[in-house]
Amino acid sequence: MKIGNFEIKGYAALAPMAGVADRACRELCIEFGAAYVVTEMVSSKGLTMHDRKSDSLMMLGETEKPAAVQIFGCDPQTMAEAAKKAAATGCQAVDINMGCPAPKIAGNGGGSALMKDPDLAARITEACVKAIDLPVTVKIRSGWDENNINAVHMAKLLESAGAAAITVHGRTRKQMYAPPVNLDIIKQVKDAVSVPVIGNGDIVDPESAKNMYETTGCDFIMIGRGALGAPWLFDRVNTYLESGIIIPEPPIEERMEIMIRHISKLCEYKGDYIGMREARKHSGWYIKGVRGAAALRQEIGALETMDQLHAIAEKVIKASVTN
């Protein structure tokens, strides 16, 4: 797929999940075959006010290419200024978040709240397009609620405003992350615009990845929650789409080794204090479904050191062998 002047060689991107898709996560997913990554969403107000946390969210590693920096907000001029700062990071594109359903984002007019004001969404997109030389992409939802499914109308306006690609999560804001994703709305958007359309939602295994491509006709797919605690999903998807072969999930020993490498990266980039506290959610995802996981939840919730993490990994491996 080509976005603006750069080409993405592969099948799937890592979605811009707040609090999850940080540098450590992105680098690991690239290692396992993600063809494109998008940063966590960054506040346009934070960037224009020189907030250190906002700046740190845009930091890209050497291996993170191609990558997009995602920004959010509801004021065209502020978003344009933020786009300039994002473009200066060395990314290949700037993505605008118009799909986040979180109350603290949508409640302030950003994210999925823009689905209720397509004209403002178009003005924001146009302002960002005019502000930078890089491609500007947009991530939207199917609509605000079941009575306002307007992704097709929105996509047409965004294309006219200069958007180089559009990602569609096939749920409304009200639906959050359930029920099952609506693939038909993604297909409708694909049929309505000429820019690349990226399908997003419920891609959790190789079969669902193939189904997204075949049902919607989308140009590319984006994987979010399906990659939580499973960065190897990209390799499994790539292999299946290329050869039709479904490779199994890694054995428990390898999964635990990947988990430890992930948390080590977290601590390297964020320090041990923050890294180990963020490790609690990631470790919970890595051991989901494995034998002995339920009994270890309390230990994971109190993680503070790498030694504790190694001990948990050993218990998971031992439980899988003895059972």
CB proximity list for 121: less than 8 A, separation 6 or greater: 98, 114, 115, 138, 154, 157, 158
Q: Phi and psi at residue 156, in whole multiples of 5°?
A: -60, -45
Indicate yes or no: pTM above 0.85.
yes
CB 63 within 8 A of CB 93: no
Task: Give strand ranges (E) for the chain.
Answer: 2-3, 6-7, 12-14, 36-38, 42-43, 67-72, 93-98, 136-143, 165-172, 197-200, 220-223
Tell me the pLDDT tens digit for each residue of 125-180: 999 999 999 999 999 999 999 999 999 999 999 999 999 999 999 999 999 988 89
CA 176 and chain centroid, separation:
15
Report the relative pairing of strands 2-3 and 6-7 from DSSP bridges.
Answer: antiparallel
Fold designation for 2-243: TIM Barrel (3.20.20)
Ranges of the chain whose pLDDT falls below 50: none
Task: Enter the DSSP assignment of 90.
Answer: T
> Residues with catalytic annotation?
100
Listed in sequence order, the DSSP H helices in 132-271 are 151-160, 183-192, 206-216, 233-243, 252-270
| pLDDT computed for residue 323 by the predictor | 57
CB proximity list for 81: less than 8 A, separation 6 or greater: 44, 47, 48, 131
Report the candidate in 310, 236, 257, 265 with the shortest Cα–Cα distance to residue 25.
265
Residue 167 half-sphere exposure, CB side, CA atoms within 13 Å?
31
- Measured from the Cβ of residue 302, the count of other Cβ atoms closer than 10 Å reads 8
The angle at the Cα of 229, spanning 313 to 60, to the nearest 5 degrees, equals 115
Say which residue the tokens 């009994």 belong to: 295
Architecture of domain 252-322: Orthogonal Bundle (1.10)
First-last CA distance in the chain: 45
| pLDDT computed for residue 101 by the predictor | 94
**Spatial distance between the Cα atoms of 150 and 25, rounded to a whole number of angstroms:** 32
Domain ranges of the chain: 2-243, 252-322
Token pair, residue 227, equals 């990659």
**Spatial distance between the Cα atoms of 272 and 70, rounded to a whole number of angstroms:** 26
**Spatial distance between the Cα atoms of 23 and 57, rounded to a whole number of angstroms:** 8
CB proximity list for 301: less than 8 A, separation 6 or greater: 280
Residue 143 corresponds to which amino acid?
G
CB 249 within 8 A of CB 232: yes
Residue 197 corresponds to which amino acid?
V
User: Which secondary structure element, helix H or strand E, spans residue 149, and what is its range?
Assistant: none
